[in-house]
């Protein structure tokens, strides 16, 4: 088995690896680091949690160990789809460059431009950025990319999902043709393959696992759920979530709960907190400082449940996540693989549970087609009758609106039920009318023999 000491990395980098407690590289690291050190382009395809970040971080540091950056002209560039992933990559560089005198800068949204400009002006060896913020600095004339020697695109398929592909193509055009490119993705959509054919030169292709597969250490299951009433779907679904968490007991040490919509992230987190669960939300609309604090609390064990949108699905390395719960089936089947990849990392066991309502069954079928296996169906605890829905502190259902925009009143009880209740409270009401019907041969009382005389008058007679 290959060891890091056999990979011809810089001795100072090897020392930092040893300090971190690593001895044996993962398959993608063992296959990707040697050609990267030779200066070749690398196309890496591997499922999440396989060590792709170190696969490009370690050879980059070895290649950049000599030399010095000039002002506004970074020597290397790492592009990441989200702020959280960019911050995590920066932490990896910090860990492995502890014995090297290399500078880095992190360009992400939610942070002052002035602070980032000051770092760039001093010259940085490693520039880690999200595409949008990088282009902002470039358009302001604060950044020159003509000296980039190594360029990395991390989580390229997530870039595609987030609409960053035009930005990536533009950034490629700003860098020298002679640069070395390291390109990593868990899946290879046709659009991504087109980019690799255009901007990579005779790359070494490394594929350590079948595309879009989940780790074998992850136990998967899906709970089919149908609400008793449409207006109770949200309340009953949140109750089901709590029952599933309780059923896992002590095995659920922590969990990431994924929702498709940011509004649902906030609602689910608020509901869990009301019922005594230690939970907090994380999504793109929150302030960056709040997102960072929440993520650090979850990583450090101070927070048990992280309720997240897909901003947290890709590339985030929290080593010991026991459970992933898909509150919604993701709209893109590839996102399912990335979500559940937050658990079962580095050979650990993990469990992924998905909640599926009738309108999500088509998305579930797409997921099963992608991973080429049927996800086992789990028993729905709500259908066993062991526990009645708990509606404490839940928000009342909002009145629906008509097409005109006016609020509709809540649905009335059936007419028969209302009549019975009214007659029980007022037994004499309507009795005379019923008796009259009986005495008249059960004839229908209406506009026949009982027509009031004034109605029979002609219009001329009424006018007089």
pTM for the whole structure: 0.64
Q: What is the mean pLDDT of residues 165-187?
A: 93
Question: What mean pLDDT is predicted for residues 408-436?
Answer: 51
pLDDT at residue 389 greater than cutoff 50: no
Structure confidence at residue 195 (pLDDT) = 93
From residue 98, alpha-carbon distances to 13, 16, 19, 123 in Å are: 8, 7, 10, 18
- Tell me the angle at which helices 288-299 and 83-96 cross, rounded to the nearest 10 degrees: 60
Q: Sign of the C-alpha dihedral, residues 249, 252, 254, 259? A: negative
Homologous superfamily of 4-207 in CATH? Answer: P-loop containing nucleotide triphosphate hydrolases (3.40.50.300)
Q: Quote the pLDDT of residue 438.
A: 47
Amino acid 434: pLDDT: 47
Asked if pLDDT for residue 2 goes beyond 70, the answer is: yes
Q: What is the mean pLDDT of residues 251-265?
A: 94
Weakest mean pLDDT among 33-42, 286-295, 322-331, 392-401: 392-401
CATH code of the domain made up of 218-383: 3.40.50.300
Domain limits, the chain: 4-207, 218-383, 415-463
Q: What percent of the chain has pLDDT over 70?
A: 79
Mean pLDDT of 175-203: 92
Tens digit of each residue's pLDDT (9 = 90 or more) over 300-310: 999 999 999 88
The pLDDT of residue 411: 46
Longest dimension (CA), the chain: 116
**Of 49, 3, 8, 41, the residue nearest 22 (C-alpha):** 3
Instruction: Judge contact between 295 and 282, C-beta under 8 A.
Output: yes
**Residues linked to residue 305 through DSSP beta bridges, in sequence order:** 255, 279
Contacts of 193 (CB under 8 A, 6+ apart): none
Does 201 have pLDDT greater than 70?
Answer: yes
Fold equal for 4-207 and 218-383: yes
pLDDT tops 60 at residue 397: no
188: confidence class by pLDDT, cuts 50, 70, 90: confident
Q: What pLDDT does residue 37 have?
A: 96
The model's confidence at residue 55, banded by pLDDT at 50, 70 and 90, is very high
Ranges 152-161, 246-255, 450-459: which has the least confidence: 450-459
Write the DSSP assignment of 400-458 as a string of letters. PB-TTSPBPPPPPPPHHHHHHHHHHH-TTTTHHHHHHHHHTTTPPPSSSTT--HHHHS-
Q: Are 324 and 253 in contact (CB under 8 A)?
A: no
Beta bridge partners of 378: 223
Whether the per-residue pLDDT at 455 is higher than 50: the answer is yes
pLDDT value, residue 387: 41
Q: At residue 110, does pLDDT exceed 70?
A: yes
Which sign, positive or negative, has the C-alpha torsion 3, 5, 10, 14?
Answer: positive
The tokens for 286 are 């929150």
Beta strands 104-107 and 279-282, pairing class:
unpaired
* Residue 189 scores a pLDDT above 60: yes
Cα dihedral 451/454/455/458 (nearest 10) = 140
Average of per-residue pLDDT across 398-407: 53
Q: Which is nearest to 127 in space by CA: 101, 141, 145?
A: 145
Query: Do residues 408 and 400 touch, judged by C-beta distance below 8 A?
Result: yes
pLDDT band with cut points at 50, 70 and 90 for residue 341: confident
Tell me the mean pLDDT in the region 23-28. 90
Cα atoms in the Cβ-side hemisphere of radius 13 Å centred on 87:
18
Query: Is the confidence at residue 40, as pLDDT, over 50?
Result: yes
Mean local confidence (pLDDT), 233-261 = 95
So what's the pLDDT on residue 85? 87
């Amino acid at each position: 088995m290959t060891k890091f000491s056999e990979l011809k990395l810089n001795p100072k980098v090897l020392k930092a690896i040893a300090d971190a407690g690593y001895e044996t590289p993962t398959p993608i690291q063992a296959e990707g680091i040697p050609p990267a050190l030779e200066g070749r382009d690398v196309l890496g395809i591997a499922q999440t949690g396989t060590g792709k970040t170190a696969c490009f971080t370690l050879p980059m540091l070895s290649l950049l160990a000599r030399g010095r950056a000039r002002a506004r002209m970074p020597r290397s560039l790492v592009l990441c789809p989200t702020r959280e992933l960019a911050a995590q990559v920066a932490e990896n560089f910090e860990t492995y460059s502890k014995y090297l005198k290399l500078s880095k800068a992190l360009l992400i949204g939610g942070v002052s431009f002035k602070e980032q400009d000051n770092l760039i002006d001093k010259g940085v060896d490693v520039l880690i950025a999200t595409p949008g913020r990088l282009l902002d600095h470039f358009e302001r004339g604060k950044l020159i990319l003509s000296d980039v020697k190594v360029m990395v695109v991390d989580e390229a398929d997530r870039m595609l999902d987030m609409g960053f592909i035009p930005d990536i193509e533009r950034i490629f055009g700003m860098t020298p043709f002679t640069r070395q490119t390291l390109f990593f993705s868990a899946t290879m959509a046709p659009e991504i393959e087109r980019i690799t054919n255009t901007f990579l030169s005779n790359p070494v292709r490394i594929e350590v696992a079948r595309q879009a597969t989940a780790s074998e250490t992850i136990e998967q299951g899906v709970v089919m759920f149908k609400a008793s009433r449409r207006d109770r779907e949200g309340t009953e679904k949140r109750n089901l979530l709590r029952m599933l968490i309780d059923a896992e007991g002590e095995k659920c040490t922590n969990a990431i709960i994924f929702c498709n919509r940011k509004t649902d992230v906030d609602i689910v987190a608020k509901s869990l907190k009301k019922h005594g669960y230690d939970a907090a939300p994380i999504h793109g609309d929150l302030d960056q400082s709040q997102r960072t604090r929440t993520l650090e609390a979850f990583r450090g064990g101070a927070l048990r449940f992280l309720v997240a949108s897909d901003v947290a699905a890709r590339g985030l390395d929290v080593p010991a996540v026991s459970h992933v719960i898909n509150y919604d089936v993701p709209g893109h089947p590839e996102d399912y693989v990335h979500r559940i990849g937050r658990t079962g990392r580095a050979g650990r066991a993990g469990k992924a549970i998905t909640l599926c309502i009738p309108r999500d069954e088509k998305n579930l079928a797409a997921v099963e087609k992608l991973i080429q296996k049927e996800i086992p169906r789990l028993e729905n605890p709500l259908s066993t009758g062991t526990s009645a829905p708990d509606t404490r502190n839940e928000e009342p259902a909002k009145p629906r609106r008509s097409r005109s925009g006016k609020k509709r009143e809540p649905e009335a009880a059936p007419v028969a039920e209302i009549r019975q209740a009214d007659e029980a409270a007022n037994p004499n009401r309507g009795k005379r009318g019923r008796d009259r019907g009986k005495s008249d041969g059960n004839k229908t009382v209406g506009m026949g023999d009982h027509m009031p005389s004034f109605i029979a008058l002609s219009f001329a007679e009424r006018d007089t």
